[in-house]
Amino acid sequence: MPHKVRIALDAMGGDFGPSVVIGGAELSLIRHPDIEIIVFGDRAMVEPLLAAKPVLARATKFVHTDVSVKMDDKPSQALRHGRWKSSMWLAIDAVKKGEADVAVSAGNTGALMAMARFNLKTMPGIDRPAIAALWPTLKGESIVLDVGASIGADAEHLLNLAVMGSAMARVLFDLDRPTVGLLNVGTEEVKGLEAVREAGRILREEQLPHLDYVGFVEGDDIGKGSVDVVVTEGFAGNIALKTAEGTARQMAGYLTSAMTRTWRAKLGYLFAREAFNTLRDKMDPRKSNGGVFLGLNGIVIKSHGGTDPEGFAAAVDLGYDMIRYELLAKIGETLRRHDRAAVTSQLSGASS
Amino acid sequence: MPHKVRIALDAMGGDFGPSVVIGGAELSLIRHPDIEIIVFGDRAMVEPLLAAKPVLARATKFVHTDVSVKMDDKPSQALRHGRWKSSMWLAIDAVKKGEADVAVSAGNTGALMAMARFNLKTMPGIDRPAIAALWPTLKGESIVLDVGASIGADAEHLLNLAVMGSAMARVLFDLDRPTVGLLNVGTEEVKGLEAVREAGRILREEQLPHLDYVGFVEGDDIGKGSVDVVVTEGFAGNIALKTAEGTARQMAGYLTSAMTRTWRAKLGYLFAREAFNTLRDKMDPRKSNGGVFLGLNGIVIKSHGGTDPEGFAAAVDLGYDMIRYELLAKIGETLRRHDRAAVTSQLSGASS
């Protein structure tokens, strides 16, 4: 291992700010003693928290700034008043300058993406960045992307999403050839958007060495865990993610009201309380934490804004794994194979 | 009331065929003694079922056909071998000929839509039909459309969906001006597809008398019941619907495994069994039954293929309500207002 994993944290993002961020950093450091942390934020709020955690403080470099991006800032506002100096910008900039390997923020998604894109720029061969979500399934976890970075996608962008998502699955799930499905609608002859069909054709033909393309999947395949990586453009992907979160909350609401309606149900609840707590954790969309920005020259993790220290630590852990197992190198490797395959298929097409 | 509500049933559709259809028809007849039923299907299977239900048999006319559409027939196959003679076609054709007011089938969606469209044609002013789903929410029910009849939508099609969906909400929820939202993604400055923005602008400007346009909604607003009618194009709508069904099943799976893991949980389950049964009903996507085909010269209801008699009866009830409260007339009424408003706004635009 070349060096410690260096993680830049925006202490001022999220609904609860530094207390969640610093609490989460400590939990993640306990699990990964080989991390180094740079925290950007307001001295008055962050230093007392660090002073109370000496182990964390020893692994942490603190950088003061009194500018922070608000949760309801529009991306353009955030760029205008937060560029060069906000805690969010400085965390991303640490990655840009090579002082950190990954940046983590619970701040607002639009602003974080705008700053990350502005500062880090997209990787060679990638036009547009994407947000990948870790999605809990009946089998474990899958990766779904794009969940909202860009609207609409041509076949080439869907292919890039497949490449980036499968690289992430190799890193996180320790798989050689993760299974990949393209999200589509079911009715046989309404075969979905032209771009989805075209991307399916190319993925079938190219037979990329680092991903196993299995075909189209439908919305209900996501929760089943039918594939490791679900690829879709950002409009449908964002709607799928939000709809699933809404449905999970709705089911949790039904559960609560069912368990408080009669004395028998209340008694049953008392006996099964521990089981219910586990269940509530599984049903809480905030617990599966961490959207990963892919396609940029550097890794940025978006933690859920309303999360607690355990949830923020999950986002930091995610950043750690991505660096330790060399996500960017793996994306680059598959992109180059894809380019070569594309060239070869064009050549063979021209000569036939 | 001019006459009884006449309902045409395809007895051969669905995973379980005539037993569910005939059982469901009986349940619905008990609730609505003013219905008349025409059943199309195979004599050998249907007649014994009817013979066992004399009350139903008296309200039912039976028409034999030995042709039926399979659950995995492609729409083109179904049209080729099932047109003019399959039970599915004949049920739709009864609506076309004015012998029935509504057709109900649990057969395959693609084939049913292809036949309905081919035979009934779209209403004046509507280019493409849509499938509307009744979606259970924390507040009750909402209507979501389109959930898969067509892929992609321009602003005009989204407007037609808003008009048709709000007419359905007036009929089913007994509202004067149902609230309507356009499904979009959240990030402020990625304002979603151009067509969605344009449709939003027109709906705001036209101020139609029969719907209350409230703006954009996100995926998690559906389950909250934030609006009565959620409008989206069919690709994202189908993915949202399937994703919600998948999430509901996933949550039910978590619940079952949590309740069987320890003896305390099992004991709790025994006490709360009744509450769990209610809950399971609420979490079962098959229970909210009935996709409604809108935009055709006649009403066709698609029941879930895997449903039971109670679920099929819910689809028949839905058809009954649509006829009793004059859905098609209400759609026509709002469409004409929309056209007038469009003409007026063009005129005022030209003169300004």
Q: Which residues of A239-274 are buried (b: 16+ CB within 10 A; e: fewer)?
A: bbbbbbbbbbbbbbbbbeebbeeeeebeebbebbee
Alpha-carbon gap, residue A22 to A44, rounded angstroms: 14
Choose from B79, B189, B242, B287 for mutation: most chain A CBs within 10 A.
B242
Residue A39's pLDDT is 98
Contact (CB<8Å) A243/B259 = no
Looking at the predicted structure, is the pLDDT value of residue A350 above 50? no
Q: Where are the alpha helices (DSSP H) in chain A?
A: 18-31, 43-51, 54-58, 75-82, 87-96, 109-120, 155-173, 194-206, 219-224, 234-259, 263-271, 273-283, 309-324, 327-351
With vertex at residue A107, the alpha carbon angle to CA B198 and CA A141, rounded to the nearest 5 degrees, is 85
Residue B19's pLDDT is 96
With vertex at residue A120, the alpha carbon angle to CA A115 and CA A126, rounded to the nearest 5 degrees, is 110
Residue B259's pLDDT is 80
B278, closest residue in chain A (CA to CA) = A258
| DSSP per-residue codes, A283-312 | H-GGGS--EEEESBSSEEEE--TT--HHHH
CA distance, residue B289 to nearest chain A CA (Å): 17
Find the CB nearest A258 among B220, B246, B279. B279
Ordered per-residue pLDDT tens for chain B, 352 residues: 457 999 999 999 999 999 999 999 999 999 999 999 999 999 999 999 999 999 999 999 999 999 999 988 989 999 999 999 999 999 999 999 999 999 999 999 999 999 999 999 999 889 999 999 999 898 989 999 999 888 889 999 999 999 999 999 998 998 999 999 999 987 555 567 889 999 999 999 988 889 999 999 999 999 999 999 999 999 999 999 999 988 888 888 888 888 888 888 888 878 777 777 777 777 676 666 679 999 999 999 999 888 899 999 999 999 999 998 888 888 888 777 776 666 555 545 443 3
List of chain A residues whose C-beta atoms are within 8 Å of the C-beta of residue B253: 138
Structure-block tokens of residue B85:
């003679």
Name the percent of chain A lying above pLDDT 70. 92
More confident residue, A338 or A6: A6
**Close Cβ partners of B263 (under 8 Å, ≥ 6 residues apart):** none
Rounded mean pLDDT of chain B?
A: 89
Indicate the CATH number for domain A130-287: 3.40.718.10
Asked, colleague to colleague, whether B1-126+295-325 and B127-290 share their fold, the answer is yes
Contact (CB<8Å) B110/A190 = yes
Domains of chain B, residue spans: 1-126+295-325, 127-290
pLDDT (mean) for A242-247? 90
Structure-block tokens of residue A291:
């959207």
Find the CB nearest A222 among B186, B221, B243. B243
Q: Which residue has the tokens 């002013």?
A: B125
CA distance, residue A264 to nearest chain B CA (Å): 5
pLDDT (mean) for A209-223? 93
Contact (CB<8Å) B249/A223 = yes
- ipTM summary value: 0.86
Contact (CB<8Å) B240/A219 = yes
- From residue B204, alpha-carbon distances to A138, B180, B181, B199 in Å are 42, 11, 11, 9
Contact (CB<8Å) B259/A249 = no
Contact (CB<8Å) A138/B250 = yes
Fold adopted by A1-126+295-326+335-352? Rossmann fold (3.40.50)
Indicate the CATH number for domain B1-126+295-325: 3.40.718.10
Residue B263's pLDDT is 83
Find the CB nearest B148 among A185, A223, A245. A185
pLDDT (mean) for A219-231? 95
Residue B344's pLDDT is 54
pLDDT digit string, tens, across residues A133-179: 999 898 989 999 999 888 889 999 999 999 999 999 998 998 999 99
B127-290 is a CATH 3.40.718.10 domain = yes
pLDDT (mean) for A265-276? 79
List of chain A residues whose C-beta atoms are within 8 Å of the C-beta of residue B278: 258
Which pairs with CB-CB distance under 8 Å and at least 24 residues apart come from A42-46? Answer: A42/A11, A42/A12, A42/A18, A42/A66, A42/A68, A42/A87, A45/A11, A45/A12, A45/A17, A45/A18, A46/A11, A46/A18, A46/A22
Residue A262's pLDDT is 84
